[in-house]
A and B are shown apart, each in its own frame.
Chain A
Amino acid sequence: MTEPAEPQRITPLRETLTEPQTELPRVTTGGEWGRYLRVFLTFARNSLIRDMTFRADFIFHCISSIAWTAMNVGFYLIIFRFTSMIGEDTGWGQDEFFLFLATVWFINSLVQAFFMPNANEFSELIRTGGLDFALLKPIDTQFLISFRRIEWSALSNFAVGLLIAGISLHSLATREEAAFYPSPLSLLLYGFFVACGVAIMYSVMICLAATSVWLGRNQSLYDFWFYITNFSRYPMEIYNTPLGRPLLGLFTFVVPVLVVVNVPARILARPLDPRADWELPLAVWACVATFGCVMFSRWLFRHSLKSYRSASS
């Protein structure tokens, strides 16, 4: 049998590669942090390009998110037609509560924009073996799978949160009784504890996603997220009943999602002084819980990768 003639589509290769194999020089500007920042920005950029490609989907997503927020706002406005405060003497009047709600939107939108699509995809990467490629890259695997995709449309709720917070703060500052402006320190602490809240939610999500390695499939992430955020989106005073206390303990100390919104919202919605005895320890606990959650989730994630089996080629 003779070899078929070489197809005409194949053009001759160039004579030689211009550069011989040498030690690959590496970009060192800004060190490792600089590299991680650049990768993150490229992820953000690529996600934006992708979202723009499917612009109708992007716009629908924004509209549906904002509509859901508007329905919630309407719902609580109705509630406040029947009561002036959530619970007796809790300090959660309408303006304060809407600041609380704004904090919920901030944290939710940040988690949904940066982590939710990635954590959800992680389960799929494990099932299909797509995680192989993430494990090959010379960069922290948890970082790589946590920030791969950014859902920019989820940030529309962040903008709505800003609007609600602005209106509530203005209303607090101009009301006749006990008007106040948050101090710069309050704003600084607020930002810090919102970041802590996002970190706690991220950790819970990573823990849940990591279990996919052992379960093979874990599609309950969105459901679980909905259950958890349902608990965290109300002031913790409402759990102060005989039936609610076990929940209060569970969601403050074991899965500390109650501190996620409560701590920052409480700081912004009232003057820094005076404060109840338990508020400072709660804030300190929020810091400890954040650190603990991040460390535990990282340990669990790394541990889970050891059991990764990949999937058929």
Chain B
Amino acid sequence: MSRKVRKEGYPSTRSELLGALHTKQYDEGWLSQDGLKAVSDDLNVPAAAVKGVATFYHMYHNEPMGRNVIQICTNVACMIMGAESLVDLLKKEYGLEPGGTTDDKRFTLVIMECIGACGTAPAMLVNDDFHENLDEKNIIEILNGYK
């Protein structure tokens, strides 16, 4: 008989750490000291180890984010297709610097390494949504959809 329920689970609870941090970040928008402490307590993993993991991986946010996180790739394939001018445009349009958040907390801008959209460059992720073949016109139209 086949099992009808997907078996999650790892041989060690420590392996649940990356997922637990993703969940915490999804729920709270970022990983605060209190958030890290809660994960540490839940999984019985030392707080220092949790902090070590949270600061190693680039997609964990260790400071408060805006409501929408613009993750724009400027790696080579996107750079040669004009990603830098898009970053400049975001500065002009929203006063956004890389790593910065708008005063109204609407956007945070994160410069990404390759996001696997090189054939449809330049590209970005806004929160969990992929947007490809960007140009100076459509990027603003797309961002208008994020309040």
A and B together in one complex: no
Question: Which B positions have Cβ atoms within 8 angstroms of A?
Answer: none
